[in-house]
Each structure stands twice: as structure tokens, then as C-alpha cells.
Copies of this chain bind each other. A is one copy, B any other.
Amino acid sequence: MAVKPIEWLGNRIKILDQTRLPLEEVYLETHDYLEVCTAIKQLVVRGAPSIGVAGGYAIALGALKIKSEFNNIFIKEYQVVSRTVAATRPTARNLFFAVERMDKVAGTAGTVEEIKQALVDEAVKIHNEEAEATEKLSDYGAELIEDGFTVLTHCNAGPLATTGYGTALGVIIRAKEQGKNVSVYADETRPLLQGARLTTWELQQAGVPVTLITDSMAGYMMSQGRIDCVITGADRITANGDTANKIGTYTLAVLAKEHNIPFYIAAPFSTIDTSLKTGDDIPIEERNPEEITHFQGVQTAPDNTSVENPAFDVTPHRYITAIITERGIIREPFHEGIKRWK
């Protein structure tokens, strides 16, 4: 991939600031795990798999800075680091997946220096595995895309979101590489316009024709017969297949059902959380009202307007045609496929 959203430079991390794209390519380079936490909160780095990768590196950076050589002191300070990273965002499963893996490594035997090195190695491993997973799932998913298909996608689930090949966009780009004629409608994805800013940019770089629409136009495009399938990424998938993803995804799923259009989720297994039975258990992040009352810093609503700003919604599994993973394509009954391959 031409663009690296996250790069590990041995003792520090380099993060592409996704809030400044597509007009500016600005990088944050830091040794400070708290700066990485802020970057996650402010969506400098975003997309469930990328959040997980950044979270792993943040913990490694925090651990490297711990001065004590005594294991008992190290582990106490490590826990502060780990909990701080885990508290950055509540919905993406991949973050907790990374935190759990790092915590396990932190608890192994060895000197503090050895554990620090093992933590760095584990963060790099998480990064590599996430990237490889998206390559594999793109291969599986591309089989679902027929020549001539127009795909609708929401938010951004490309290389920026995944540090790898992309999930929803990975599937589309792989289909294009297979010689299929494929084009995309990209929802702009209010409030933060990841579709307008990032999905258009990534698909243009990949040579996939993309047309930008507002979120409110998806139903109209389906009613005109212009959409052959919907593919989105995911932030968390529960044991029964219910899927949390960017707010607006559920609406697309309902629209797809009404128009008899397949609705696909593309996500690595690190997004699947079998500790939760159904989507009702997924915590939904409520973000700053100013994301809605202001647009790129310009106020658009009257002062003191009441706002709700859930960042995600949950699509019940009955609306999902298939979940595309690096281990294969899962269909109803989802709980069986998830259990079999987990």
C-alpha cells in the first residue's frame, strides 16, 4: 500500500493524521503513549483494526517508559498504561483484543527488559496479523462481487482503517484486481465525513470509479436499481452475528432488505467478541455534540441546540447476508460459523 496509516520505527510510532486527509498529508511521530491515546480519541487514527494496532503500540510505548527494573513495580505501572489505552474508545472490539494480548504478554515470566521487548514484539505481531487478515478476507469477499457490480459502502474500511489491505474496500479492490468491472457509491458518512474524505481518496488511488453521495441518498439509489450489494466494515461483532458499525449502517441494512440487495459485513476475527451474546450488550460511544452543531469549525445550528451523537449503531444478524472473514465467509446460522472458526 502506498499509504501507511501506522508505522513502527523501533522505539516510536508514526501515525498519519486521518483528520487532515485528503487535503493534507500530516504525520504524528511520538514516543509518548498518551499522545497515541489522544490520537485514538480524536480519530487521528481510526477504523477498528487500526485502533487495535495503535492500541498495541501505545501499550508498548508506555511500557518502554517505565523506569523500574522490579517486576512488581513494573506490572503496577503497566496496568495504568493498559487501562488508559483501553479507555480511549468503548466500541471497537479490536482495541480490547489488542489490550488482552498485550496484558497476557506483560504477565509472562522474565526480566522487565525481556518483557518490554516481548511487548514490542507482540504489538508488531498484532500489526502484521491484522494486515494479513485483511488480505485473506479480501480474497474470500471478492468472490461475492460479480463483474459489473456497483457496491454501496459506508464510512471508511480501507487501508487507513485497517493498516492492511482494507476490509470492505479490500474486497472491492481485490475484485477490481481480478479484472472485474466494479464501481462504488460512497456515503459521505456524517458527522465526520470519513466516506467523503477517505473512502473516495482510497478508491481513487486504487483506480476504482467512485461516486460520492450523502447518507440520505442511499435509499434513493437502491430504489433506482443502481446498487448490487452493500459492504461495510465492523467495529464489533457478537457471538450471534449482530454487528456494531458506524452510525447509519443499520439504516443501510434495512434498506438493503427492503430492496432484496445482499448486505455484507467484512471484518477480521479480531473484531468478533464472543464474550457478548447479542448486539444489545455492545456499548455505544456517544461523541461530542459539536461534531453535529458545527461543520469543519463553522457553526450550523442555533446556540445550545440539544444533540444526540451515537458514533455507532447495531445491525441485528437477521439483516446480514454474510460476514466476510479471513477464515472464510460466514452465513446464517452465524453463531455456529463464528463458534467453529473462532
Stretch touching chain B among A63-71, A130-138, A190-198:
A190-198
Report yes or no: B200 in contact with A302, Cβ–Cβ below 8 A. Answer: yes
A-B contacts, 6 of them at CB < 8 A, read A201-B302, A214-B309, A219-B313, A220-B310, A254-B254, A295-B295
Which segment, of A76-84, A85-93, A97-105, A204-212, faces chain B? A204-212
Complexed CA–CA distance, A293 and B293 (Å): 19
Least Cβ–Cβ distance between A326 and chain B, in angstroms:
28
Contacts of A251-272 to chain B: CB distance below 8 A = 251, 254-255, 257-258
Proximity string of chain A (207-242) to chain B, C-beta cutoff 8 Å, 1 when within and 0 when not:
001111111111111010000000000000000000
Partner of A308, one of B22, B211, B314: B211
User: Is the beta-carbon distance between A305 and B210 smaller than 8 angstroms?
Assistant: yes
| Given known A-B contacts A212-B306, A214-B292, A220 and B298 have beta carbons under 8 A apart | no
Closest residue on chain B to residue A214 by CB atoms: B190
B197 touching A301 by the CB < 8 A rule?
Answer: yes
Whether, in the assembled complex, A123 has its beta carbon less than 8 Å from a beta carbon of chain B, the answer is no
CB contact between A251 and one of B193, B218, B296 (< 8 Å): that residue: B218
Rounded to whole angstroms, the CA-CA distance of A255 and B187 in the bound complex is 18
Q: How many residues of A contact B (CB 8 A)?
A: 53
Could you say which residues of chain B place their CB within 8 Å of the CB of A223? 250, 313-314
Min CB gap A246→B, angstroms: 8
A300 touches B296 (CB 8 A): yes
Q: Does A9 contact B (CB under 8 A)?
A: no
**Smallest Cβ-Cβ distance to A307: which chain B residue:** B212
* Interface assignment of A166: CB less than 8 Å from any CB of chain B: no
Give the chain B neighbours of A308 by CB distance below 8 A: 211-213, 217, 221
A197–B294 Cα gap in the complex (Å)?
Answer: 11
Q: Is the CB of A210 within 8 A of B306?
A: yes
Task: Determine if A23 is an interface residue (Cβ-Cβ < 8 Å).
Answer: yes
Let me know if A247 is at the binding interface, CB within 8 A.
Answer: yes
A253's nearest neighbour on chain B, judged by CB, is B219
Could you say which of A22, A196, A255 has the most chain B C-beta atoms within 10 Å of its C-beta?
A196
A248, B191: Cα distance in complex, Å: 16
Residues of B within 8 A of A292 (CB): 188, 196, 212-214
Say if the beta carbon of A189 comes within 8 Å of chain B: yes
Partner of A300, one of B193, B257, B313, B314: B193
CB distance from A251 to the nearest CB of B (A): 3
Do residues A254 and B258 form an inter-chain contact, with CB atoms below 8 A?
Answer: yes
Contact B300–A196 (Cβ < 8 Å): yes
**Is B22 a contact of A302 with CB atoms below 8 Å?**
yes
Q: A184: shortest Cβ distance to chain B, in Å?
A: 10
